[in-house]
Structure 1
Amino acid sequence: MADQEACSRIEQRSVIKFLVAEGCKPVEIHRRMSTVYGATCFSRKNVYKWAKLFKEGRSSVEDEDRPGRPTEVRSPEVIESVIDLIQSDRRVTVDDIARTLSLSVGTAHKIVHDDLGYSKVSCRWVPKMLTPEHKQRRVELSQQCLCRYEKDGDEFLKKVVTCDETWVWHYEPESKRQSMEWKHVGSPVKKKFKSQRSTRKVMLTVFWDMQGPITISFLEKGSTVNSANYCELLRQVKKDIKNKRRGHQSEGVILHHDNARPHTAARTVQTINELGWELLPHPPYSPDLAPSDFHLFGPLKAFTRGTKFESDDEVKSVVSDWLRHQSKDFYAEGIRKLVHRWEKCVTVLGDYV
C-alpha cells in the first residue's frame, strides 16, 4: 500500500511537471488532474506548490533526503553514552542527556528508565551522620533485643512500655500532599497560600504499650522537662499501670525510652530501679528504633495539621481523644514493628532503617 501511494505521488508530480512544461496554469492543472485522479488527486495547495517548484527549475519528482535523526537511535553505543553521562553526574536531567546526545526527550527518557532501569530519587534525611562506633552500638543492642525476643516471643513485647515527648502546635499548616483532592477536567484549580505554624505549642509525653496509652501527660507552662519532673511522671505511670493493666505489674515492666538527658540522669535510673522495672537498651541517635517516633507521632501530627486550636486545653483534649480512640491493633503493630527494625538494623550493619 505504501509503495502504491509513493508511485501515485511520483506519477502526479510527473504530470504536473509535464503540464507546466506545456505552459498550463496551476488552476488548469488541478482541474484536469481532479478529473483523472478523483479523490486521490493532490490538493490544490499541493499542486500549486509543485507547479511553482518545477517552474523555478526543479527537475526531480522524487522526495529529497531529509536531515532527520535515524530511525534507530537506542543503539548500544548511545545507551553506553547515557550510562557515562549518568555516572559522571548523578544529578543530570533527562533534558540535559537529550541535548548532549542530540536525542529527543522521549527517547532519552526511554533509555534511562526502560533500558537502564534508573529512577531519580531524593536524598533521605537522617538525624545524624552515624560514626562506626554508633553503628556498632546499634547492631549490638539490636542483637540483644532480638535474642530476648527469640527466647520469650510476644511475652517479651507485651511487657514493653515505651514513651517519648513531642511538641503539638496550636496551628501547623497541612502538607501539600494532604491538600490533594479529586478534580474533574473542567474544575477550577485551587490555590494554597503559604502559612507558618504558630509559636504557641504544648509538650506531650505519652507512655503506651501493646494495648494502648497508659499515661498521657502535658507539660505545664513555665516548666521544663528535667529529671525531677520525669521521675514524678514515672511514679504516676506505675499507678496507672496498676489501675489499667491489672496483672501487668506482677509480670514485670520493660521500660523503653530514648537517651534524652532527663531519661539517662542518675536520679532517673535510680527511680526506675526503685520501681522494679527493667530498662530496654536504646542506642543513641536512633529515632528509627523508637516506636513513638516511627509509628505514633506521625499519624498524630497528620491528624492535627490544618486545625487551629484556640487554647492549650483544646489541644490537650483533641490529642488525648485521638490517642484513646486508636485501636489496640494500632498500638500492638507499633510495638511489633520493633522486631523488624532490629532485624533490619543488623542487616544494614547499624545504618538507619
Structure 2
Amino acid sequence: MFVKCILNVLQGQFVDSSTSEDSLDSVSTTIRLQPSGYTSEGNTLDRTQRARTAVTQDEKYVFYLNPAKQRVWVRPGDLLPTFLRRDVHGEKHLWSFWVCAHGQVYRKLFPKSTTMNSEAMVNEIEEMGRRLALIHSLRFKKVLLFDNAAPHREQVTTDKLGQLGYVHMPHPPYSLDISPCDYHYYLSLQDILVGRDTRTQAVLDNHIEQLINTRPKQFCKDGIRKLAERWQQGPCP
C-alpha cells in the first residue's frame, strides 16, 4: 500500500483517503528529498549533459614538504625507525584550478599566507570567464560546479555568477556528486608530489605542468564523465 501510494503521488494521481497519516508523511518526505534532476528521464539526461559541459573548480593547500608514507616490519621488542612526519600546521601553497572536459581552463598559485575569500573568488570567476571565452567560446554553456565552501556560497559570489550569466550546479554534502577536482585531478597531483620538496612556487608549478603534460587527453574528460555516471545511479541525499 505504501509503495502504491508513492507511485500515485509521483504520477499526480489521487491518494486514497484511507491511507494513514504516517504513510502520507513518509511520502511527502520522500518527495522533498527527491532532487528535480531525477523527477523524469528527460531531466536526468539534461542534468547529465550539463555535467559534460560544466567547468569545475576547487582550491587546495599544497604543503612545502610531502614525505612518503612507509610501512616497516619490526620484531617484538625492537624500536621503530624514525620517520619525517608532515606538520599539519606547516607552511603551504594555496592553489586554485578550473578544469573542464576538454582540459585545464585556468590555474593560479596564490602568494604566501593568502586565504581564499569572496573577493578572491569573484576575481577568479572573472578571470576564468575570460580564459574560457578565448578557448571554448561556442562549445560551453555557462555551467559551474564547485563545493559548498564559504567563499562559494557568499552573496557577493552568487551575485557575480548571476551577473555573468553562470548557472551554479548544486553540490549537496555527502551526495553522489563527488567533485572531480577532489577525487580525480588533485589525487593525481598528490601522487606526483610524494617525496618532493615544493618550497618555491616555481617548483610546484613545474610539477603541475608535468601532471598536465603526462596525462592523456582523455584524463580530464574521464573526470567529468564519472560525475555524470554518478548522477545516473540515483538521487543525491
Same fold by TM (over 0.5)? yes
Mapped partners of 2:124, 2:200: distance in 1: 24
Matches within 5 A, 1:115-130: none
Query: Alpha carbons of 1:266 and 1:319: their partners in 2 closer, same or farther (altered >3 Å)?
Result: same
Matching residue of 2:149: 260
Query: Alpha carbons of 1:202 and 1:267: their partners in 2 closer, same or farther (altered >3 Å)?
Result: same
Q: Does 1:322 align with 2:211?
A: yes
Report the alpha carbon displacement of residue 325 of structure 1 after superposing the two structures with TM.
4.1
Contact 1:213/1:324 (8 A) holds in 2: no
Mapped partners of 1:195, 1:287: distance in 2: 36
Greater relative contact order (Cα < 8 A, sep 6+): 2
Contact 1:212/1:327 (8 A) holds in 2: no
Please point out which of 117, 135, 150 is paired with 1:244: 135
Contact 1:291/1:334 (8 A) holds in 2: yes
Report the alpha carbon displacement of residue 312 of structure 1 after superposing the two structures with TM.
2.6
Q: Does 1:275 align with 2:169?
A: no
Mapped partners of 2:189, 2:40: distance in 1: 27
Q: Does 1:302 align with 2:191?
A: yes
More helix by share: 1
Matches within 5 A, 1:87-236: 140=35, 143=38, 148-151=43-46, 154=49, 156-176=50-70, 193-197=82-86, 199-236=90-127
One-letter code aligned to 1:150: L
Mapped partners of 2:185, 2:93: distance in 1: 17
Mapped partners of 2:68, 2:41: distance in 1: 38
Deviation string 1:45-80 (CA, Å, 9 cap, x unpaired) is xxxxxxxxxxxxxxxxxxxxxxxxxxxxxxxxxxxx
Mapped partners of 1:145, 1:172: distance in 2: 47
Aligned residues with identical type, % of pairs: 23
Gap regions ≥5 residues in structure 1: 1-134, 180-190
Query: Alpha carbons of 1:195 and 1:152: their partners in 2 closer, same or farther (altered >3 Å)?
Result: closer
User: 1:289 is paired with a residue of what secondary structure?
Assistant: coil
Contact 1:142/1:345 (8 A) holds in 2: no
Mapped partners of 1:324, 1:264: distance in 2: 33
Contact 2:48/2:231 (8 A) holds in 1: no
User: 1:339 is paired with a residue of what secondary structure?
Assistant: helix
Deviation string 1:207-230 (CA, Å, 9 cap, x unpaired) is 001011101112222321000010
User: 2:56 is paired with a residue of what secondary structure?
Assistant: strand
More strand by share: 2
Contact 2:145/2:171 (8 A) holds in 1: yes
Mapped partners of 2:184, 2:222: distance in 1: 9
Q: Does 1:284 align with 2:173?
A: yes
Mapped partners of 1:208, 1:144: distance in 2: 29
TM-score normalised to structure 1 length: 0.50
RMSD between aligned residues: 3.0
Q: Does 1:333 align with 2:227?
A: no
Deviation string 1:78-136 (CA, Å, 9 cap, x unpaired) is xxxxxxxxxxxxxxxxxxxxxxxxxxxxxxxxxxxxxxxxxxxxxxxxxxxxxxxxx99
- Larger-Rg structure: 1
One-letter code aligned to 2:85: Q
User: 2:172 is paired with a residue of what secondary structure?
Assistant: coil
TM-score normalised to structure 2 length: 0.72
Report the alpha carbon displacement of residue 244 of structure 1 after superposing the two structures with TM.
1.9
One-letter code aligned to 1:303: I
Query: Alpha carbons of 1:302 and 1:235: their partners in 2 closer, same or farther (altered >3 Å)?
Result: same
Mapped partners of 1:171, 1:144: distance in 2: 48
Report the alpha carbon displacement of residue 288 of structure 1 after superposing the two structures with TM.
5.7
One-letter code aligned to 2:148: N
Report the alpha carbon displacement of residue 153 of structure 1 after superposing the two structures with TM.
5.7
Contact 1:212/1:328 (8 A) holds in 2: yes
